[in-house]
Chain A
Amino acid sequence: MAESKITLEQVRHVALLARLKLSPEEETRLVADMSSMLGYVEKLNELKTDDIPPTAQVGEPGTPMRDDAVTNQPAPEDMLANAPARSGGFFKVPKIIE
């Protein structure tokens, strides 16, 4: 196995950013898998790209505009139907202010 491209601490930091609670087994596995991928993508460094502009999207240029008009009727019951927890017409979440 090639040298590790990412440490266990880095994996834990990224997991925190990504809001994923990983098990110790998952952390170990991710150190290996991410190292392997990061090693593979290093081949991009064979290419000199200093003067190359990045491509962020490949669609039609520009952003079409439309009227900011309401097109749907209010349907709170539809919107709340998938709520994991609700209270009356509200989504229920754990307390966020002490």
Chain B
Amino acid sequence: MSDLTKLTIAEAQAKLRKHEISARELTRACLDRIAAVEPMLNAFITVTEREALEQADAADQRLASNDAPPLCGIPLGIKDIYATRGVKTTCASKILENFVPPFDATVIAKLRAEGAVFVGKANMDEFAMGSSTENSAFGPTRNPHDLERVAGGSSGGSAAAVAAYECLASLGTDTGGSIREPASFCGVVGIKPTYSRVSRYGVIAYASSLDQVGPFARTVRDAAIMLRALAGIDRSDSTCSARAVPDYERALTGDVKGLRIGVPKEYFVEGMQTEVEKSVREALAALQKAGARTVDISLPHTPYAVAAYYLIATAEASANLARYDGIRFGLRVPAENNIELYEKSRAQGFGAEVKRRIMLGTFALSAGYYDAYYLKGQKVRTLIRRDFERAFESCDVVMAPVAPTTAFKLGEKTDDPLTMYLSDIFTISVNLAGLPGMSIPCGYDNAGLPIGLQIIGAPFSEETMFRVGDAYEKLGAFKPRQMKI
């Protein structure tokens, strides 16, 4: 393997600027790595080799004239949920198998303007519905640490691609844990920013009150560089915040003295893998040694989060996915009349999990059941928000595991949807409350699978979250291991 693929963004930036390496060399190295490992991993649905090399050459021209924005020439993977002008965008669904967007998502346009290089469109659970990337219409992504195991989901391809050195960083989306859980399973850093911090324009919608854009990277600094490029107001997304975007890198002081870390008792529950709890507790101890202190807190409504989420998210999904009707774009199954055309196109185009969620959501919103299900879910969402508001009166960040276990085996949870849904038990509340959350590697289990530490912040406290994550990295308590592939 070429060592270029192992560079962090920060390292690659320096080498590109000093003309020690070219964007083309760096991109070529990633593309070669993709060619070598994709038969094993399936992290990408589409590899955009030709476009990537063109972008790299354009980046080299900008670098030559010393007019290079931070991500100029950096090879990135893009979850196949982002509209990319002229490049197939499938959302891992048969219904969009041949869809070529006529426009770029706002974050894609921003990255293009910086001169970033897109090596391909990453695999995912169909319409971001899943926790293992097994719901992709184009086959599952395998975990680079153990090919018999899942990469997590729904952004499993984006996480695996960064872990396996196919690109330096990538984009995912997180509706109930879809960045943090795969980051944890693949041993990379994953950021779910505050709701509204990043534009969703051009991001195929799943559950609009929960969806958020975020990066995967191999270091906290790289994730900070990525988020600065992504965040900020967008006139095409009315939910996007107008708040100024801080230079997150400046927050990386390494100082955690006096930091109050809230440790919620509800996130250390019976049934969780013992090594996961042990690793997270060791991370807390390391931070305490560096001057932080822990505060016992309670988030009492945690056990209700998954239930509330599956009413709210599926209800929103049933509305968002109504647009796939076989009329203006996407799969069309011919029929005698329009109703039959809709019914057949949707039946053939959507996979089993997407149908299940559309059905549950349609039911939760239907006459006679709205109050008992959808409205009840929204009220419990209020209680979960209030839990966090109260918690942040006594702490600066909350720390917990990302998931109750490490990566599970392919096929292990596909027969029982509820078991799969419970993999997100520790990540879902953060989406319901609209908070920023980070997954950062903190250890390995006995089988050598990565474990993620979750750092949760108050709204718009990404700087604190980055500072703590970076400080933890600098402590060196976690030692990354070489992967077999």
Interfacial residues, chain A to chain B (CB-CB below 8 A): 6, 10-11, 14-15, 17-23, 26, 29-30, 33-34, 36-38, 40-41, 43-47, 49, 52-60, 63-64, 66, 75, 78-79, 81-85, 91, 93-96
Contact = CB atoms under 8 A, between A and B. Distances in A.
Contacts, number: 163
Contacts of A44: 304, 307-308, 311, 376-377, 380
Given A47-B304, A57-B209, A64-B242, A14 B329 contact: no
Given A58-B196, A82-B102, A93-B341, 8 more contacts: A18-B318, A30-B355, A37-B418, A41-B377, A47-B301, A78-B102, A82-B329, A94-B335
A46 B308 CA distance: 13
Contact of A94 (B338, B362, B377, B381): B338
B350 A36 contact: no
Contacts of B382: 52-55
A17 B362 contact: yes
Contacts of A83: 328-329
Contact of A43 (B304, B347, B433): B304
A22 B346 CA distance: 10
Interface string B188-200: 0000000110000
Given A11-B359, A36-B417, A44-B380, A91 B328 contact: yes
Contacts of A29: 352
B363 A47 contact: no
A10 B200 CA distance: 35
8 contacts: A20-B350, A23-B347, A36-B418, A41-B307, A44-B376, A58-B195, A58-B209, A60-B239
A19 to B, nearest CB: 4
Contacts of B304: 43-44, 46-47
B37 interface: no
B359 A14 contact: yes
A82 B99 contact: yes
A40 B305 CA distance: 12
A21 B235 contact: no
Given A14-B363, A40-B307, A79-B102, A59 B434 contact: yes
A53 B382 CA distance: 7
A29 B359 CA distance: 12
B433 A58 contact: yes
Interface string B318-342: 1000100111111110011111111
A20 B308 contact: no
Contact of A56 (B322, B378, B383): B378
Which 10 residue pairs of A and B lie closest in terms of their CB atoms, listed nearest first?
Answer: A58-B434, A84-B332, A54-B378, A82-B329, A78-B102, A59-B196, A21-B343, A49-B379, A21-B347, A41-B307
A82 B344 CA distance: 19
B341 to A, nearest CB: 6
Contacts of A75: 102
B211 to A, nearest CB: 11
Contacts of A10: 363
